[in-house]
Amino acid sequence: MASSISSSTPRSIDEIFNDFTSRRTAILRALTYDVDEFYSLCDPEKENMCLYGLSNESWEVTLPAEEVPPELPEPVLGINFARDGMNRKDWLSLVAVHSDCWLNSVAFYFGARLNRNERKRLFSLMNELPTIFEIVSGRKPLKDKTTTTDSGSKSRGSLKRSNEGQVKSNSKLPDESNGEEEEHGETLCGSCGGNYSGDDEFWIGCDICERWYHGKCVKITPAKADSIKQYKCPSCNSKKGKQ
């Protein structure tokens, strides 16, 4: 089954964490940006459906793997059955909780051969990120935007990219320039799902999909951004490669 495992199995802490963040990004996308599509795919009339986050940052709703035992730990079965019997937000939060559990199980499946200190380091990296449940349920507090959007007297460390590929000082929050993100009430990094935290935090916007990313998550520095005419995020780059 295509959703199970990548061709090269992650072994090191960094490789496992990168796999974790990629799968997490995919599931966050399903439950936020692509939520309407995700909701429609979870038809209660279908068989047991699972939500998979793939290592290429894409997601799919499909039947579970047929192999027994499966190649990887499997996500929870039957997420579609409860869809129409619950409040939509509560149902999405339930899927988020199970998705967090699945992501952790996959990471520690890959990390089975790590020693105690390595496992501790891996968990520490994972635990620095907000859980999918925290984001989907709105438990992550929203940042106070009034202190950064008033008279402009505060200088901002974040940058945005214009359509011409130039890097500018950002005079407003990224989510104020993106209607889709504004609808969700907060700006989320397209890679780690973290919130916009304000001063001295470098973000970069993809010129293709218009999602925002922490510079550190996509390995782009302010200096490097200056030399990029048109920024394409990892997800848009991978889509281009498949075509």
Q: Which fold has domain 187-242?
A: Herpes Virus-1 (3.30.40)
Please answer whether residues 32 and 184 qualify as being in contact, where contact means their C-beta atoms are separated by less than 8 angstroms.
Answer: yes
Q: Residue 68: which pLDDT band, with cuts at 50, 70 and 90? A: confident
Give the contacts of 191 (CB within 8 A, at least 6 positions apart): 21, 25, 213, 214, 217, 218, 233, 234
Find out whether 80 and 52 touch, Cβ atoms under 8 Å: no
pLDDT confidence band for 186 (50 / 70 / 90):
low
Give, as one character, the DSSP assignment of residue 61.
Answer: E
- For residues 132 and 28, the answer to whether their CB atoms sit within 8 Å is yes
Q: Considering the chain, what is the average pLDDT of its residues?
A: 77
Q: Work out the average pLDDT over 61-67.
A: 88
Residue 239: predicted pLDDT? 65
Q: Where are the chain's structural domains? A: 13-137, 187-242
Tokens of 69: 């035992």
- Can you name the residues that pair with 213 across neighbouring β-strands? 204
pLDDT, mean of residues 159-180: 40
- Phi/psi of residue 61, each to 5°? -110, 115
Choose between 123 and 155: higher pLDDT: 123
Q: Select from 99, 179, 203, 89 the least CA-distant residue to 138.
A: 89
pLDDT tens digit sequence for 214-224? 888 888 888 88
CA-to-CA distance for 237 and 190, rounded, in angstroms?
A: 14
Region of poorest pLDDT, from 95-109, 140-154, 176-190, 225-239: 140-154
Residue 163 has a pLDDT of 39
Size of the chain in residues: 243
pTM of the model: 0.58
Please report the pLDDT score of residue 139 as a whole number: 75
Cα–Cα dist 52/64, whole Å: 9
Displacement of CA 42 from its chain's centroid (Å): 20
User: Which pLDDT band, with edges at 50, 70 and 90, does 141 fall under?
Assistant: very low
Per-residue CA distances from 236 to 60, 111, 197, 204, 242 (Å): 17, 29, 25, 14, 10
Kindly tell me the burial class for residue 204, based on how many C-beta atoms sit within 10 Å of its own C-beta (0-12, 13-18, 19 or more): buried
pLDDT band, very low/low/confident/very high, at 154 (cuts 50, 70, 90)? very low
Q: What is the tens place of the pLDDT at every residue in 80-111?
A: 999 999 999 999 999 999 999 999 999 999 99
pLDDT at res. 236: 83
pLDDT at 60 (0 to 100) = 95
